[in-house]
């Protein structure tokens, strides 16, 4: 792939993406191990100890531990994709190594894509790790629709990597990169049907839950893995794609304008 100015774009993109992957692999104890440990605890406490006491009727006929698996994978994918890009991009701003990128002839879209690929690689890798952990607690798990599962896994990871990127662009301090994950993302994920079906909720709370975007992400993934969902898959996929396009356009606009990165 050559740019019109004869700069080898594929090399620039590969360089940035591999740098991003190398970054999270270098600190694997901080990036890859914690989700495996945390999710193991969820599986032990909610899946193995509390789960057998939950009636299968409220989890669409599935064992509770089995019902939780797609939710917990999605939770890990969302938080890790987001965290990777927000912390990496903010760090390059903070350390001023963003200048290496801005001074180079790399077009803005390759800068964005390089960071997104880093976020997606970590998100998907963590998703696979959590799935492997889940097999210790439910070895007979069979994926109902592998294609849909993979599509949703990647789309979700792309979406939340983009959100992490936008957060990092606006961030002026380390506080700014933890506020949204702590006070917005985590509550929405927990209330987005990771641990339960919204059919268990009273009508009012069920209606409230339907404005939570995480519900659509989690349930679309659950449809892929288990073949059951509380929401329309077509609608959910359309919304995920629409948001990916919107956030991509916004990110490129911010890069072109130099928001948060150029004086």
Partner 1 sequence: MTFALEIKDLKKVYAGGTEALKGISLNVKEGDFYALLGPNGAGKSSTIGIIGTLVTKTSGSVKIFDADIDNNVAIAKSMLGVVSQEINFSQFEKVLHIVTTQAGFYGIKKSIAEPKVEEMLKRLGLWDKRNDQARTLSGGYKRRLMIAKALIHDPKLLILDEPTAGVDIELRREMWSFLKEINENGTTIILTTHYLEEAEQLCRNIGIIDHGEIVADTSMKDLLSRLDVQGFVMDLDKPLDKEPTVEGFELKLEDSSTLVAAVNKDKSINSLFDELNKLGIKVKSMRNESNRLEELFIEMIKKK
Residues that bind partner 1 (rule: CB under 8 A) add up to a total of: 31
Query: Does position 15 bind partner 1 by CB under 8 A?
Result: yes
> How far apart (Å, rounded) are the C-alpha atoms in residues 95 and 116?
20
Q: Are 220 and 152 within 8 A, CB to CB?
A: yes
Query: Does position 8 bind partner 1 by CB under 8 A?
Result: yes
Query: Does position 104 bind partner 1 by CB under 8 A?
Result: yes
Closer CB to partner 1, 3 or 206, in the complex? 3
Query: Does position 30 bind partner 1 by CB under 8 A?
Result: no
Q: Are 212 and 239 within 8 A, CB to CB?
A: no
Query: Does position 22 bind partner 1 by CB under 8 A?
Result: yes
Pick from 181, 157, 156: which is nearest to 167 by CA? 181
Query: Does position 101 bind partner 1 by CB under 8 A?
Result: yes
Among 16, 85, 86, 117, binds partner 1 (CB under 8 A): 16
Judged by CB under 8 A, the chain residues 66 through 95 that form the site for partner 1 are 91-92, 95
Closer CB to partner 1, 98 or 125, in the complex? 98
Residues that bind partner 1 (CB under 8 A): 3, 5, 7-9, 11-12, 14-16, 19, 22, 26, 91-92, 95-107, 258, 262-263
């Amino acid at each position: 792939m050559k740019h019109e100015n004869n700069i080898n774009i594929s090399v620039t993109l590969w360089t940035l993406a591999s740098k991003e992957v190398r970054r999270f692999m270098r600190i694997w104890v901080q990036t890859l191990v914690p989700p495996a440990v945390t999710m193991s605890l969820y599986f032990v406490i909610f899946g193995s100890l509390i789960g057998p006491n939950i009636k299968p009727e409220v989890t669409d006929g599935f064992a509770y531990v089995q019902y939780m698996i797609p939710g917990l994978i999605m939770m890990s994918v969302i938080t890790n994709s987001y965290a990777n890009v927000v912390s990496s991009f903010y760090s390059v701003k903070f350390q001023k190594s963003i200048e290496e990128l801005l001074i180079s002839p790399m077009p803005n879209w390759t800068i964005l894509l390089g960071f997104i690929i880093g976020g997606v690689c970590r998100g998907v890798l963590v998703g696979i790790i959590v799935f492997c952990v889940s097999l210790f607690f439910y070895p007979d798990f069979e994926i109902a629709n592998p294609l849909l599962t993979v599509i949703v896994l990647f789309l979700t990871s792309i979406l939340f990597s983009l959100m992490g990127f936008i957060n990092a662009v606006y961030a002026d301090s380390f506080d700014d990169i933890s506020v949204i994950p702590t006070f917005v993302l985590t509550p929405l994920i927990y209330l987005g049907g990771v641990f339960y079906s919204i059919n268990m909720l009273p009508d009012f709370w069920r209606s409230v839950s339907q404005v939570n975007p995480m519900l659509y992400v989690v349930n679309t993934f659950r449809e892929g893995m288990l073949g059951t969902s509380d929401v329309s898959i077509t609608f959910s996929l359309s919304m995920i794609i629409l948001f990916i396009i919107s956030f991509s356009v916004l990110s490129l606009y911010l890069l072109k304008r130099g928001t948060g990165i150029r004086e």
